[in-house]
Amino acid sequence: MLDLDIADAEVERILSALGMKIERTADGWRAVPPSWRFDIGIEEDLIEEVVRVHGYERVPTRAPRGELRVAPMPEARLGAAAFRAQLAARDYAEAVCFAFLDAATLKQWALDEGAVPLANPLSAELGVMRTSLLPGLVSALVANRRRQQERVRLFELGNVFAAGKDAPIETTRIAGVAIGTVFAEQWGETPRRPVDFYDIKGDVESMLALTQSARAFRWAPADAPWLHPGQSAAVFRGDRRVGHVGALHPELVAALDTGADVYVFELDFDAIAPRQVPSAVAVSKFPSLRRDISFELPEAVPYARVDALIRDAVGENLADIVLFDRYAGPNLGTMIKSLAIGLILQDRYRTLTDQDADRCRALAVAALEAGCKAKLRG
């Protein structure tokens, strides 16, 4: 009830004197007006009655307040605007799709598990709540293709829904789709190269780099049925899977009649939003050294494993790793690949010697031989 600076007993006395049955509750009073007071139906009517009897002149006067409380934005978390701006800079256009889909569409994508049906849908095509942003985005992509748009790049940031114990569970995700050429038609790009897995992976990596902790993310083979088994990956932050990246499965592409391969990504927004707060570090005044390593290893070993082994072995003197060559051919044998990498070595407090660089190289070679069965090439 409105704060009138009236004692509880006085309010209760006034309402009782007006013929109302009063029952005290945790939040105030529950009043049942007499049969002849048909003009009392809402809480404000009770307030008016109390004020009228108590006296309008006795109600304290307070000027209205116009304060705006701005919620603080923690530095350790990226806002949606940062990801929107990054994708716009990568030539994506933002789309807003329906949060409802046809149940048959989700089943076609094998994304119907946990879907929430609507009790009173607008139409049969909008009968369930979406469990993923991608079906809607790909439908928008196909609509653009049918209107003579050969190159389409769309993204959306929105909620998806899954059945919960008491109510649907909402999760915020960011997703994107791309089809056509990497760059728009121009004189400086000939021939026009179609987009591929590494292009869409680069777009995702550019977003993850905003967190200042891109190395906290790792890539692993994906098992999603709607993704191409050889051109897809799952994204992990630590041990938590935060999304998928890759090409749509060829059977799904044929069923959707997209006309070309479609590359997609979808990430859990709350999982990628935390970031490392930037801190200023002085640039080293001392020169860097480089040592190259060429080695053979099994094809099944991912480069992320190679990168992690070298960084753990060499330690703080490793400024960067450059992968500058990859080769696989019959002269190496089946399921064998050759990698050539450059170790960029630098210390912040002194000049590294050749002996330091050779020691770091030896540590990297030993780690590769023990951790991924690598064999040093001459």
Q: Kindly state whether residues 260 and 178 are assigned to the same domain.
A: yes
**SS3 label, residue 377:** coil
Give the pLDDT score at 28.
76
Q: Are residues 154 and 183 in the same domain?
A: yes
CATH number for the domain harbouring residue 371: 3.30.70.380
Q: How far apart are the first and last CA of the chain?
A: 85
Q: Which residue has the tokens 């990801």?
A: 83
Could you tell me which of 374, 310, 363, 292 has the C-alpha nearest to residue 338?
374
On whether residue 49 sits in a domain, the answer given is: yes
E-assigned strand segments in the chain: 21-24, 29-32, 93-94, 100-101, 128-129, 152-162, 169-179, 217-221, 227-237, 240-248, 263-268, 289-298, 318-327, 336-345, 375-376
Q: Which residue has the tokens 């999760």?
A: 171
Cβ within 8 Å of residue 351, ≥6 positions away? 286, 287
267 and 293 together in one domain: no
**Is residue 124 within 8 Å of 116, Cβ to Cβ?**
no
Instruction: Identify the pLDDT of residue 1.
Output: 44
Domain end call among 242, 272, 302: 272
Cα-based distances in Å from 3 to 27, 32, 62: 13, 21, 11
Please tell me whether residues 46 and 128 are part of one structural domain.
no
- List, in sequence order, every residue forming a beta bridge with 296; answer none if it has no partner: 338, 375
Per-residue pLDDT tens, the chain, 378 aa: give them: 445 567 778 888 888 888 888 888 887 778 888 888 888 888 888 888 888 888 888 877 777 778 888 888 888 899 999 999 999 999 999 999 999 999 899 999 999 898 889 888 888 788 899 999 999 999 999 999 999 999 999 999 999 999 888 888 999 999 999 999 999 888 887 788 999 999 999 999 999 999 988 888 989 889 899 999 989 999 999 889 999 999 999 999 999 999 899 999 999 999 999 998 888 888 889 999 999 999 999 998 988 889 999 999 999 999 999 999 999 988 888 899 999 999 999 998 899 999 999 999 999 999 999 999 899 986
Over its C-alpha atoms, the chain yields an Rg (Å, rounded) of 32
Distances (CA, A) of 5 to 9, 14, 145, 182, 255: 12, 14, 67, 69, 69
* Residues 165 and 240 both lie in one domain: yes
Statement to judge: residues 204 and 350 lie in one domain: no
Q: Same domain, yes or no, for 236 and 180?
A: yes
Cis peptide before 33 (omega within 30 of 0): no
In a domain, 63, yes or no: no
Domain for residue 258, yes or no? yes
Instruction: Tell me: do 363 and 299 sit in the same domain.
Output: yes
Please tell me the predicted confidence (pLDDT) of residue 86. Answer: 97
Q: Is 214 a member of any domain? A: yes
Q: Is residue 264 part of a domain?
A: yes
266 and 201 housed in the same domain: yes
User: 239, 217 in Cβ contact below 8 A?
Assistant: no
Closest CA to 217 of 204, 227, 225, 208: 208
Spatial contact of 284 and 317, defined as CB atoms under 8 Å apart: no
294 domain residue, yes or no: yes
Domain encompassing residue 39: 8-58
Tell me the one-letter amino acid at 141: L
Q: Look at strands 263-268 and 240-248 and give their pairing.
A: antiparallel
* Residue 114: closest CA among 76, 174, 165: 165
44 forms beta bridges with none
Clarify whether residues 247 and 304 are in a common domain: no
Q: Could you tell me if 245 and 368 lie in one domain?
A: no
The CATH number of residue 34's host domain is 3.30.56.10
311-318: long-range contacts (C-beta < 8 A, 24 or more apart)? 311/215, 312/367, 313/363, 313/364, 313/366, 313/367, 314/343, 314/345, 314/360, 314/363, 314/364, 317/345, 317/346, 317/347, 317/352, 317/356, 317/360, 318/343, 318/344, 318/345, 318/360
- Asked if residue 244 and residue 143 are part of one domain, the reply reads yes
The number of helix segments (H) and strand segments (E) in the chain equals 10, 15
Report pLDDT for 280: 84
Measured distance CA(269)–CA(264) in Å, rounded: 16
Q: Locate all alpha helices (DSSP H) within 215-353, ordered by sequence.
A: 250-256, 269-272, 303-314
In a domain, 64, yes or no: no
Q: Give the pLDDT confidence score for residue 50 in this predicted structure.
A: 85
Half-sphere exposure of 357 (CA within 13 A, CB side): 18
- Backbone φ and ψ for 142, nearest 5 degrees, come out as -65, -40
The answer to whether position 278 is within a domain reads: no
Number of domains, the chain: 3
- Show Cβ contacts of residue 264 under 8 Å, excluding neighbours closer than 6 positions: 134, 137, 138, 175, 176, 177, 178, 200, 227, 244, 245, 246, 247, 248
